[in-house]
A and B are shown apart, each in its own frame.
Chain A
């Protein structure tokens, strides 16, 4: 690998020399079906029911729906982290049904996932610094582009936090550490599963601003899983509305949120808190 060691915040430095061809989508989900079998009763539950979607390089796509709609199952299948049934998934041009285990392992760093509970994603026995060191050992070349302090700076955390353990971090700080760990890998796709649901509104606003900035400067695509339509509208280009395993409506956020065509989408919009306040503004 001829990559030079690059330094800097996720700006120019984070631009990938091996960026995919513009026409290669980051993710293509084609007619995906995922079923879970209840171990007790043997009953089969179809969590994802013939879903198709596509994310182009640098694009920000949301999947919204309530609990049990299949949005997380979809994201996990699409990133080869969860079970996959019928249909095909092409991640950075590779079909997950044909890909070898070796190649899949090499592909993994390109896709980084940020989960809802940051403390659940961090090893409680490792300081932030030692956690980063572990990632660097696993992927020395990929991660050499930025130092620890600078990486933390890019998610607006002070370098002193490097020596903290997860329990010494607030929810917002821990979530930023998770985002920093994802950024270290210079992913082409960031999957964020309810990344701000457990955070206070003011902290949520900071994390959303950070994700927006990362998008603009690194060119990474974003797959956002959320039940919060306002968060989605403030961050994403395209939205897919899921209900009981199916995508019931898709389109640009502005179109879907302003002129929804599906009854369930309308119901979700009507249930958004704050209608009274917004109507007075």
Chain B
């Protein structure tokens, strides 16, 4: 499996009125094709900053100080370098927590999918747009894809909206998908379906998935590898089962101990 995404010694700083604040400090991360890598941590750990840095969505006052992000061998982020606009939405898809905020409330799902396809797939025909829109909703295991295509976001349930948001992220067949707390607002039963869907997508399409979550248990169900973050640093990283079964760091042990026991 070739390395798809590589973050190497990434250091990111925010300029605030009171001085500089280090958001990421010497962060390494690697994602291969067909792999789901979970980044877990509590609020303020830097997990979202890492996800946003990879796609060049950092705030204006935040900048990369050291290190780099490489996508399929090409440097896309480094100090003073931001080539993410070439890959964002095409080679890299993104899904965030609040699906309704990534969907345009004034457009039918059909129009939004078409817009994304036309922007990223050169010379795509109308027939091809129709075919791929329908196909991607079927991949999302949406039972009634034509109804969903004709719907506005507010006409869909939260679970369906999130699946449409994922569809928008993967319709361009990106090599890498970044999902930031994208199931947090969903009911557990819906969460299970969405998470299962990710596993299938990764296995079927051979994409890489960066799955950011505060939920260690969810990460343990879904991820192949887990990176635990705290205070902007990587505390521990490795194979999911070994990180959770034989944590090497106190912080990871404390996180696991805080989970209510189930017996």
Given A201-B214, A201-B216, does the pair A273, B188 have CB atoms closer than 8 Å? yes
Pick from A201, A228, A233: contact of B255, CB under 8 Å = A201
Interface: A204 (CB within 8 A): yes
- Consensus secondary structure, chain B interface: helix
Q: Do A202 and B254 touch across chains, with their CB atoms under 8 A apart? A: yes
Q: Which one of A20-28, A143-151, A187-195, A263-271 is at the interface?
A: A263-271
Q: A231-B260, A272-B262 are in contact. List 15 more A-B contacts (CB 8 A).
A: A66-B188, A66-B189, A67-B158, A201-B216, A205-B260, A228-B260, A233-B260, A233-B262, A267-B189, A273-B188, A274-B217, A274-B220, A276-B221, A277-B221, A280-B241
Q: Do A202 and B42 touch across chains, with their CB atoms under 8 A apart? A: yes
Q: Do A227 and B187 touch across chains, with their CB atoms under 8 A apart? A: yes
In the complex, which residues of chain B have a beta carbon less than 8 angstroms from the beta carbon of A66? 187-190
B214 nearest CB neighbor, chain A only: A200
CA distance A280 to B158 in the complex (A): 32
Q: Do B188 and A272 touch across chains, with their CB atoms under 8 A apart? A: yes
CA distance A142 to B217 in the complex (A): 43
Given A200-B43, A202-B42, A202-B254, does the pair A234, B261 have CB atoms closer than 8 Å? yes
Size of A's binding interface in residues, CB under 8 A? 28
Residues of chain A from 112 to 154 with CB closer than 8 A to chain B in the complex: none
CA distance A89 to B198 in the complex (A): 45
Q: Do A273 and B215 touch across chains, with their CB atoms under 8 A apart? A: yes
Interface: B258 (CB within 8 A): yes
8 A/B residue pairs, CB under 8 Å, sorted by A: A66-B188, A201-B259, A202-B42, A202-B258, A267-B189, A273-B188, A273-B191, A277-B217
Residues of chain A having any CB pair with chain B under 8 Å:
66-67, 171, 200-202, 204-205, 208, 227-228, 230-231, 233-234, 267-268, 270-278, 280-281
Give how many A-B residue pairs fall within 8 Å (CB-CB): 76
Q: How far is the CB of A71 from chain B (nearest CB, A)?
A: 12
**B38-67 interface code vs A (CB 8 A; 1 in, 0 out):** 000011000000000000000000000000
Q: Do B258 and A270 touch across chains, with their CB atoms under 8 A apart? A: no
In the complex, which residues of chain A have a beta carbon less than 8 angstroms from the beta carbon of B241? 280
B218 nearest CB neighbor, chain A only: A273
A204 nearest CB neighbor, chain B only: B258
**B182-210 interface code vs A (CB 8 A; 1 in, 0 out):** 00000111111000000000000000000
CA distance A272 to B260 in the complex (A): 12
Given A200-B42, A273-B218, does the pair A227, B188 have CB atoms closer than 8 Å? yes
